[in-house]
Structure 1
Amino acid sequence: MNTARHPVDQVLPKRQMITLGLQHMLVAYIGAIAVPLIVASALKLSPADTTILISTALFCSGVSTMLQTAGVWRFGVRLPILQGVAFSSVGPVIAIGTSPGVGFRGVCGAVIAAGVFTLFAAPLVGRLRRFFPPVVTGCIVTVIGLQLFPVAYEWAGGGRGSAQFGALPFLSVTLLVALVILAINRFGTPFVRNLAVLIGLVVGSVVACLLGMGNFTNVSHAPWLTVPYPFHFGMPVFSFVPILTMIVVMVVQMVESMGLFVAIGGIVEKDISEEDVIRGLRANGLASAIAGMFAAFPFIAFMENVGLVILTGVRSRWVVAISGLLMCVVALVPKIGAVVASTPAAALGGAGIAMFGVVVAAGVQTLAKVDFENNRYNVLIVGFTMATALIPVMAPQVFKQMPEWTQPFLQSGVVLACLVSVVLNALLNGAHEDIAVDTHRMVRE
């Protein structure tokens, strides 16, 4: 009997685990603190409260990542998935936080209640796993990469709000990082290739600082130590409308998360069952409920992390679990986080182009295994899915006049990719292909 451990479950040497985990954390750090920064600015929180909000979001991201990767009992999909605050929650959080008589305590109550709702709804949503064959997951992975390209381009130009956006020094640093990553992958040893993104970021950051792009003002103002604790803003307030609003956000995130679980499972070549999906959704619900107690927000898988898994070829979930632990440590020492956050945007741009590009390539690779020659419906599924899912990326104003409650669904390319591809595949192909695969797997086992 073959008892070889799957690459996803492999435990690497300690030094390698820490180094690779640090690489994952660096890539996702900016995205992890972006939402609390936006919310704190919109709600006009004091600098001290903003620091607390960032630390709690980062700390809960780390806890959520460890729960999702290591898994505890019936929680966690056990894949190399890095968790972060969902951007789809920004609008509803600000709307709830600015509502008279509700405030930020109402945000906390809504997040806790929506997290509990997700815990109970997970088994129902998880049963949709059979509607995600390769033609669906291939579309989802491709859209994930394409949706992230604008982020990489924004970094490459010097970052949002840069006075000289697109200037030659910014683009030069981006190009340098991309060339370093390519050179290491071509000439480096296997271990060094695994660290290509981290080395590229370090080289790019040093050159960018020499060119005057570094800004370490926030480092001097950041405190050395902060300890996140529950109910910093007071006991949560549970109001019907805010809770209902946040439940809608969580439903959107469940659909998106399910697509990501199955898609990432395909990338790391591990079968994701219905029970795996349910455990992953339960982990999201539990993490979000805990986050509400700590004045944080709903959590979802970070798509930026997918490119790093593909680029390095390291599929171990324990590496990502270490990155979650590192995020918890950095949350306790804001000064370290401020140093990481000072990474010049142009350096991130080179890493982003490399990582997000290979995500698209992985999606195309999955679609290459789909039968387009004998099944013309697959061509229609891919065509309509891509055309619809890229609307929020290429023409976000198209859905501006739609009802407010539909915006969380319509402004996420991944959610649209899930909905359109699943519905079209169910209508045109049915579930025959997926049933056959499941039967084969049961016979093999």
Structure 2
Amino acid sequence: MTTAVHPVDQILSTRQMLTLGLQHMAVSYIGAIAVPMIIASALKMSQADTIVLISTTLFCSGIATLLQTIGFWKFGVRLPILQGVAFSSVGPVIAIGTNPAVGFAGVCGAVIAAGLFTLLAAPLVGRLRRFFPPVVTGCIVTVIGLQLFPVAYDWVGGGRNAANFGAPSFLLVAAVVVATILLINRFGSPLLRNLAVLVGMIVGTLLGCAMGMGNFHGVADAPWVTLPVPFHFGVPVFAVVPALTMIVVMIVQMVESMGLFLAIGDIVEKPIEEEEAINGLRANGLASAIAGMFAAFPFIAFMENVGLVVLTGVRSRWVVAVSGVLMCLVALVPKAGAVIAATPTAALGGAGIAMFGVVAAAGIQTLARVDYEHNRYNVLIVGFTIAAALVPVLAPTLFKQLPDWSQPFLHSGVVIACLVSVALNLLLNGTEEAHVPASVVRTAGRA
């Protein structure tokens, strides 16, 4: 008797793997290069070093994605997770890089040290898996979708720094992308529905370019080929304070990653057990150690791609693995990456509205399966968690007067959602409720 292959483990046709993998890479590319561009600007790097930093970050992002999706031995959570640089590392990296005593070599050393720390700490953090029942994972997924809406709105308006933010032309492009995605999902073939976001972005890009959007000057300036090599910025410098700073960042990211692994497992209907969560955290540690050698930064799951998984219903981790390979290849050809980066922001915004919306909807689906009638405490857990987790989005200055050591934990709505929901569940429901298995969530928009 043959055992049915779980949709997460299915290998699709070559054409589907390539086109869907390209779609995943396209929706994540802007976010993937944003952090190295911000850091390079803050550290006043030359154009050549900036190109190197972007290429190494993309290259290591692809490696991190392969570690999580395919995995080996005791590394990798083996879910459709595309890895990208966490924005929570920007501030510490800039602070370390501007320290004349260590420079950017100190950043590399700190990232390597933090990655090794994560490898050692993964089994300890992974044991917390039992404290994430459905009421907790549902809160986390819902918060993920809600906290990403401001990002999508910024894109729809043409970018936060756009001089004519919210111009009708930007809104029109975003609306056309949304309409294209909806029409394809309603009338398109199964394959076309799976590619609805990519097609919508292409349509939006063509319309935007016809209206004068999209800056292709960077394409001409970008080199054809670059080769990421380790220790480009010199031998890593290992200093105590920078290493401890980055370790704090990684502790925060481990908490966030734990919540993300379990939440994504619910979304794709493959609940994650303790050992699998530990393997995912180990992969994060190994990827960060490799990133430090290549002058890149710590990685975490990109929620744009989780939204794409929900929207298309294609849950294969091998599709996302292909996108990891494509990111490695694009890292070698900066000119190709510059073409993708020239996508009008408004077109990306239309796609973001669709993707982030279905992530929030998936969280609501999980919360709908929670028992509120016989357990009134669950209402309190959901209400207080969402109220606390949206503070960084709706009132970002509210926690600024609190001690410096607490800021990394209060910067991310997902981290707050993890901490508050777990704490309230233990306080109100006790440890018995924490052992309830993760619920099965039926993904939206399945083809």
The letter for the 1-side match of 2:204 is: G
Moved more, 423-432 or 9-18: 423-432
In the alignment, is residue 157 of structure 1 matched against residue 149 of structure 2?
no
Aligned runs of 1:284-433 on 2, under 5 Å? 284-433=284-433
Cα distance change of structure 1 residues 334 and 279 upon mapping to structure 2, 3 Å threshold: same
Aligned runs of 1:25-424 on 2, under 5 Å? 25-424=25-424
Separation of aligned partners in 1, 2:59 and 2:429: 44
Separation of aligned partners in 2, 1:435 and 1:308: 30
Count of residues paired in the alignment: 438
SS of structure 1 residue aligned to 2:430:
coil
SS of structure 1 residue aligned to 2:305:
helix
Quote how far apart the aligned CAs of 1:404 are.
1.9
* Contact 2:70/2:317, CA 8 A, preserved across alignment: yes
Percentage identity across paired residues of the two chains: 76
Query: Which residue number corresponds to residue 443 of structure 2?
Result: none
Quote how far apart the aligned CAs of 1:374 are.
1.0
SS of structure 1 residue aligned to 2:393:
helix
Moved more, 297-306 or 57-66: 297-306
Q: Deviations over 1:23-45 (max 9, x none)?
A: 00000000100000000000000
SS of structure 1 residue aligned to 2:84:
strand
Quote how far apart the aligned CAs of 1:232 are.
0.2
The letter for the 1-side match of 2:390 is: L
* Contact 2:133/2:436, CA 8 A, preserved across alignment: no
Quote how far apart the aligned CAs of 1:2 are.
6.2
* Contact 2:133/2:435, CA 8 A, preserved across alignment: no
Query: Which residue number corresponds to residue 445 of structure 2?
Result: none
Separation of aligned partners in 2, 1:398 and 1:436: 34
Separation of aligned partners in 2, 1:379 and 1:83: 33
Separation of aligned partners in 1, 2:48 and 2:404: 33
Separation of aligned partners in 2, 1:305 and 1:402: 33
TM-score in terms of structure 2 length: 0.97
Separation of aligned partners in 2, 1:226 and 1:290: 18
Quote how far apart the aligned CAs of 1:373 are.
1.0
Quote how far apart the aligned CAs of 1:100 are.
2.3
Query: Which residue number corresponds to residue 3 of structure 1?
Result: 3
Quote how far apart the aligned CAs of 1:433 are.
3.4
SS of structure 2 residue aligned to 1:396:
coil
The letter for the 2-side match of 1:109 is: G
* Contact 2:389/2:413, CA 8 A, preserved across alignment: yes
Separation of aligned partners in 2, 1:118 and 1:73: 17
The letter for the 1-side match of 2:399 is: F
SS of structure 2 residue aligned to 1:81:
coil
Separation of aligned partners in 2, 1:226 and 1:436: 50
Cα distance change of structure 1 residues 329 and 74 upon mapping to structure 2, 3 Å threshold: same
Separation of aligned partners in 2, 1:94 and 1:304: 25
* Backbone CA RMSD of aligned residues: 0.9
Separation of aligned partners in 1, 2:402 and 2:93: 20
Cα distance change of structure 1 residues 154 and 437 upon mapping to structure 2, 3 Å threshold: closer
Quote how far apart the aligned CAs of 1:299 are.
0.7
The letter for the 2-side match of 1:285 is: G
Separation of aligned partners in 2, 1:382 and 1:214: 41
Quote how far apart the aligned CAs of 1:431 are.
2.7
Q: Which runs of 5+ in 2 are unaligned?
A: 439-447
Quote how far apart the aligned CAs of 1:244 are.
0.3
The letter for the 1-side match of 2:312 is: T
The letter for the 2-side match of 1:363 is: G
Query: Which residue number corresponds to residue 441 of structure 1?
Result: none
TM-score in terms of structure 1 length: 0.97
SS of structure 1 residue aligned to 2:435:
helix
SS of structure 2 residue aligned to 1:392:
helix
Separation of aligned partners in 2, 1:263 and 1:14: 29
Q: Deviations over 1:376-415 (max 9, x none)?
A: 1000000110010000000000011122221111010000
The letter for the 2-side match of 1:7 is: P
* Contact 2:156/2:349, CA 8 A, preserved across alignment: yes
SS of structure 2 residue aligned to 1:84:
strand
The letter for the 1-side match of 2:59 is: F
Separation of aligned partners in 1, 2:403 and 2:107: 22
Q: Deviations over 1:350-397 (max 9, x none)?
A: 000000000010000000000011101000000110010000000000
Quote how far apart the aligned CAs of 1:191 are.
0.8
The letter for the 2-side match of 1:387 is: A
SS of structure 2 residue aligned to 1:399:
coil
Q: Deviations over 1:332-361 (max 9, x none)?
A: 000000000000001001000000000010
Separation of aligned partners in 1, 2:388 and 2:436: 29
Separation of aligned partners in 2, 1:143 and 1:164: 30
* Contact 2:23/2:195, CA 8 A, preserved across alignment: yes
Aligned runs of 1:8-27 on 2, under 5 Å? 8-27=8-27
Quote how far apart the aligned CAs of 1:434 are.
4.4
Separation of aligned partners in 2, 1:226 and 1:384: 49
Separation of aligned partners in 1, 2:421 and 2:383: 10
Separation of aligned partners in 1, 2:96 and 2:433: 44
Separation of aligned partners in 2, 1:296 and 1:437: 37
